[in-house]
Amino acid sequence: MNLTQEEVLEQCAKMCKNTLMETLEISFCEVGENYLVAKMPVTPRVHQPDGVLHGGAMVALAESVGSAASFIFLNAEDFYIRGIEISANHVKSVKQGYVFAKAEILHQGRTTQLWDIKIKDEEGNLVSIVKLTTIALPKTK
């Protein structure tokens, strides 16, 4: 990674403008050598009717952080990055506060990448485990 952590997080924030990430108030808060972390507030706008965090919102958070990590850690100037498969297991309910999604690369092939994304609450309790497969498609010049 040639950018500083602050530059990467700033780039991620710019990518969120006028997107689903902005609607869900997802923000990127930490980046490391091989991982990216994003957070999302748990408010009534992402609740199911019974007042707990909607599984679809967690999947949107996971795909957002995994796709952004692909964009950062792969050569996004030469490739389009797209999610092609996602699988989630929700193991705990959350009613309020924040959830944090950490995307870590499991496999980085030339064409496909496999991401392990763990979503935790503010106390560090596991909320959801997500597997995301992305594909790098060459841009035509």
Which DSSP helix (H) or strand (E) runs through 57?
helix 55-73
Three-state DSSP class for 4? coil
User: Is 63 one of the annotated active-site residues of the chain?
Assistant: yes
Strands, E assignment, 8-140: 27-31, 35-42, 79-90, 97-108, 112-121, 126-138
From 22, 63, 85, 123, the catalytic residue: 63
C-alpha 5: how far from chain center: 16
Tokens of 35: 């991982």
Closest C-alpha to 52, from 61, 42, 60, 62: 42
- Report whether 39 contacts 26 (CB < 8 A): yes
**Which residues are annotated as catalytic?**
63
